[in-house]
Chain A
Amino acid sequence: MRPEHLIVAPVLLPLATAALMLLLGEGRRGLKAVLNTASTAAGLLIAIALLQRAQADGPAAFGIYLPGNWAVPYGIVLVADRLSALMAVLAGSVGLAALLYALARWQHAGVYFHVLFQLQLMGLYGAFLTADLFNLFVFFEVLLAASYGLLLHGGGPDRVRAGLHYIAVNLVASLLFLIGVAVLYGVTGTLNMADIARKLALVPASDRGLLHAGAAILAIAFLAKAALWPLNFWLPPAYAAASAPAAAVFAILTKVGVYAVLRLWTLCFPADAGASAGFGNEVLVWGGLATLAFGAIGMLASQQLARLAGYSVIASSGTLVAAIGFDTPALSGGALLYLASSTLAGCALFLLVELLERARQVEVGPSVIDDGAAALPGFAEGEWSPGTNLDDDEEALIGRAIPAALAFLGVAFTLCAMVVAGLPPLSGFVAKLALLTALLELRSGPAWTLFGLLIGSGLLAAIALMRVGIRHFWSPQGRPAPRLRIVETLPIAGLLAAVVALVIHADAALAYTRATAQTLHTPALYIDAVLQARPVAPPPRSTPP
């Protein structure tokens, strides 16, 4: 066991857990739940350890592991740098929250939930850690195949219909991914990302067009997954149809596409890349702006809370892609903080959606939740003394206890809405402020457009979420309190605590994301670190007796 083995652990651990759970067969849910939780928590701890190592090693921290022990451009390389570690921690947090939520009810809604969940995490960790283009494709397929299963989890016509569209769109995107990889391989003769970036300068002018075409096709595949307009019409129905824990995990799936674009574009097309400098940046900026506007209008237009959450994911994707397109370290640093805060808040929002919908259904006809032991208490309405203020129904206005469950939902929803809309004082605001400050220094037309759209979309999001809040919390009268299980409220509380921690330690978080952006925009660091990795010498063979 060497310290480098920690880099491959987030991939191997879920794979081993999934295989073990497959062997256990369909039953034994309790044991599987324990295994799954332990493995997911261990994965998160490993990701945090990677993050701490990346931070402790200064700006140029690259943990490099060669899984096959082949010399560098030939074998697969796993790289845990600051960006990968940050994304892995986000994936682990989102995964753990969604899993805890699923333990209450959703794990019983279909077979193989735990196996699919672990494979989903394996695909996510692998996609964030790999430094090989084809290996990235393989991990994309792993996470997509698991997401097909998770989307269909629970069954029903809506999920199957949305699942069919989702699978068809993603299969086409995967084919485009393959075409892009093949063209890049044909032009550069390598699949290692660092090696591709190094060889781009040597590509003759006659092949430059082919190279750009390949990169553009690859980008379409990534941007379809990142839900860039006009490639994002699949997202709202699919995310609205998915079960709550699946949708919560999907909150990070769009970020995988954003991550891939950020990684490849900062590596391959920096400002000093000669004829390819800044290739496609304008498309990213304007595509991101259109996506942001589309997402904001969609939020305002949706009636269902689940669709609103889907459109908020689209809006955050648009912000990120537009910010990446400017290719400026200051803007990328703010965007990474925005990515962290919007992923956590998006995950919490998707989990809240189901609880709020359940609260509404209680109004229509109280459904029976089968256990009473692990539910939050609803306060009993006490008798009131004569002379107190009474409302229209002759009930006391003062001293009427808000049921704990409803209070929790209200506070959690308000915090979520504040992060999603970017209102002070939570992390969404800090991240948006970092973006706006960086935009002020750019002073170009697109920068002013993004500046205006960021503020405008925040306003639209605030209006849309406030309307939902009024509909769910203020307008209903005399509704019995919804019953929540504590295990369902834990993950939401945990995610919101993480968001609050991001504000309290905003200085450290921004310093981290800015250092990450600086490293990203100095691609030579990454290229040198990967190409200088050497295979481990084989252990000396014992002489045969």
Chain B
Amino acid sequence: MEAVISIAIGVLTGAGVWLLLRPRTFQVLIGLTLLSYAVNLFIFSVGSLAVDAEPIVRAGVPADLAHYTDPLPQSLVLTAIVIGFATTALFLVVLLALRGLSGGDHVDGEEEAP
């Protein structure tokens, strides 16, 4: 499972960085979104991956990480998702405003000289 998660994070990050460096605003936006997915998966994975383990303490089972999954990364991911979603939405608004003002979708507001 570690390999699957690692590959997923790697592919998402690679695609995200590539798109981030493109000159079109929409590509930058998608790049940022992919990067934030990768980061969220990464945060999730630092709490040591576990199958069939839950973060809620049950009676009679000792409360340690051998029997439960770490609840903290999950709450961190939740916060990061909300914040990332809001800032991406804001970026989208600025993107549309720039498109309206410049008439193009280049990140600098004007096409490079050929």
Contact = CB atoms under 8 A, between A and B. Distances in A.
Interface of A: 134, 138, 141, 144-145, 148, 152, 156-157, 160-161, 163-165, 167-168, 171-172, 174-175, 178-179, 181-183, 185-186, 191
Contacts of A178: 39, 43, 80
B39 A172 contact: no
A160 B79 CA distance: 28
Contacts of B36: 175
Nearest to B38: A175
14 contacts: A138-B79, A141-B87, A152-B94, A157-B109, A164-B94, A167-B90, A171-B87, A174-B87, A175-B32, A178-B43, A182-B46, A182-B73, A185-B73, A186-B46
A56 B87 CA distance: 41
Given A172-B20, A182-B73, A182-B76, A164 B95 contact: yes
Contacts of B97: 152, 160
B73 A167 contact: no
Nearest to B90: A148
Interface string B24-58: 01001000100110010011001100000000000
Specify the main secondary structure of chain B where it touches its partner.
helix
A171 B83 CA distance: 10
Contact of A141 (B83, B95, B98, B107): B83
Contact of B109 (A152, A161, A182): A161
Contacts of B61: none
Contact of A168 (B32, B47, B79, B102): B32
Nearest to A158: B109
B108 interface: yes
B98 A161 contact: yes
A186 B43 CA distance: 9
Task: Sort chain B's interface into a size bin.
Answer: 20 to 34
Contacts of B91: 164, 167-168, 171
Nearest to B36: A175
A138 B32 contact: no
Contact of B94 (A144, A160, A172, A191): A160
B32 A161 contact: no
B107 A165 contact: yes
A175 B35 CA distance: 8
A73 B98 CA distance: 45
A148 B89 CA distance: 12
A172 B32 contact: yes
Nearest to B98: A160
Contacts of A191: 72
B46 A138 contact: no
B49 to A, nearest CB: 12
B113 interface: no
B101 interface: yes
Contacts of B88: 171
A178 B80 CA distance: 8
B39 A175 contact: yes
Q: Which of A148, A164, A181 has the most CB of B within 10 A?
A: A164
A152 B91 CA distance: 12
Contacts of B11: none
Q: Which 7 residue pairs of A and B lie closest in terms of their CB atoms, listed nearest first?
A: A186-B46, A182-B43, A161-B109, A157-B101, A182-B46, A141-B83, A160-B98
Nearest to B91: A167
Nearest to A184: B46
A167 B102 contact: no
Contacts of A179: 39, 42
B86 interface: yes
Given A164-B91, A168-B107, A171-B91, 12 more contacts: A141-B83, A148-B94, A157-B101, A160-B98, A161-B98, A164-B95, A168-B32, A174-B87, A179-B39, A181-B43, A182-B46, A182-B76
Contacts of A161: 98, 102, 108-109
Interface in B91-114: 91, 94-95, 97-98, 101-102, 107-109
Given A167-B90, A171-B32, A134 B76 contact: yes
Nearest to B20: A172
A512 to B, nearest CB: 35
A317 B20 CA distance: 27
Contacts of B32: 168, 171-172, 175
Q: Which of B39, B47, B94, B101 has the most CB of A within 10 A?
A: B94
Nearest to A165: B107
A460 B82 CA distance: 45
A168 B28 contact: yes
Contacts of A141: 83, 87
A181 B20 CA distance: 22
Contacts of B95: 164
B25 A172 contact: no
A160 B101 contact: yes
Contacts of B109: 157, 160-161
A145 B107 contact: no
Nearest to A138: B79
Contact of A134 (B20, B28, B79): B79
A148 B83 CA distance: 14
B86 to A, nearest CB: 7
A135 to B, nearest CB: 10
A156 to B, nearest CB: 8
Contacts of B108: 161
A185 B79 CA distance: 15
Contacts of A165: 107
A138 B78 CA distance: 12
Contacts of A168: 20, 28, 32, 91, 107
A49 B100 CA distance: 48
Q: Which of A160, A165, A172, A183 has the most CB of B within 10 A?
A: A160
A165 B107 CA distance: 8
Nearest to A149: B90
Contacts of A174: 83, 87
Contacts of A152: 94, 97
B36 to A, nearest CB: 6
